[in-house]
Amino acid sequence: EDQVTQSPEALRLQEGESSSLNCSYTVSGLRGLFWYRQDPGKGPEFLFTLYSAGEEKEKERLKATLTKKESFLHITAPKPEDSATYLCAVQGRGGSYIPTFGRGTSLIVHP
Amino acid sequence: DAGVIQSPRHEVTEMGQEVTLRCKPISGHNSLFWYRQTMMRGLELLIYFNNNVPIDDSGMPEDRFSAKMPNASFSTLKIQPSEPRDSAVYFCASSLSGAYNSPLHFGNGTRLTVT
């Protein structure tokens, strides 16, 4: 059974204070690891897909990286508008298209 | 594209009443997912359809829950009778299956409150 654990559960940063969110996973052959952003009152919004260890993807102040056991979402010089819950999900090679989601990290960036 | 459209956005009902949630997936997507999100349990998959056929309904809590997808552009999730513990945000998501690594696209959810 695929498993995803995200840490920390909650993170408070000052504007400009860089940090990283962690997503640890176990899966029987990784097909893809996904990062989503969820704002209050909205559905998760897709950010990145990572396919193999060593891969990196960037979008504005966000950079996602992947190893064989975990993924990091690095946030550089965050702004208050980066405040959201960040969800990680994995899709394994078990034959199902169903991704397994973590519980998320709630990020608050104070001005 | 309008994205995944869910209705209603909010639903307040009394225990024992029937509740029907609706979803219109993104045109061309052939996979549809219903999720439930709570603070305690996070995102839980309820049911997954592929090409309008239910593939995995192991997440459906009990017989009070049922889901249908009569065509490629519409799905419903019904709860009958509803109970206070069903209170949660229900999300519908769609994707292009047949393509692993295709991300899910979520609607903005229906917030259900059962009193």
Residue B12 has pLDDT above 90, yes or no: yes
The confidence band for A29, taking pLDDT boundaries of 50, 70 and 90, is: confident
What is the rounded average pLDDT of the residues A44-62?
Answer: 95
Check B56 against A98: CB less than 8 A apart: yes
Task: Tell me how far apart the alpha carbons of residues B34 and B77 are, in angstroms, rounded to a whole number.
Answer: 8
What is the rounded average pLDDT of the residues B32-42?
Answer: 94
Mean pLDDT of chain A: 94
Check B101 against A101: CB less than 8 A apart: no
The nearest CA of chain B is from the CA of A28 a distance in Å of: 15
Residue A14 has pLDDT above 80, yes or no: yes
Residue A94 has pLDDT above 90, yes or no: no
Peptide bond connecting A8 to the previous residue in cis, omega within 30 degrees of 0: yes
Q: Is B5 on the interface with A (CB under 8 A)?
A: no
Cβ-based contacts of B107 with chain A (< 8 Å): 43
Question: Which string of DSSP letters, residue by residue, matches chain A?
Answer: --EEEEE-SEEEEETT--EEEEEEEE-SSEEEEEEEEE-TTS--EEEEEE-STT-EEEETTEEEEE-SSEEEEEE-S--GGG-EEEEEEEEESSS--PPEE---EEEEEE-
The confidence band for A28, taking pLDDT boundaries of 50, 70 and 90, is: confident
Residue B62 has pLDDT above 90, yes or no: no
- According to the model, what pLDDT value does residue A95 have? 60
The confidence band for B99, taking pLDDT boundaries of 50, 70 and 90, is: low
The nearest CA of chain A is from the CA of B95 a distance in Å of: 10
Angle, CA of A83, A102 and A32, to the nearest 5°: 100
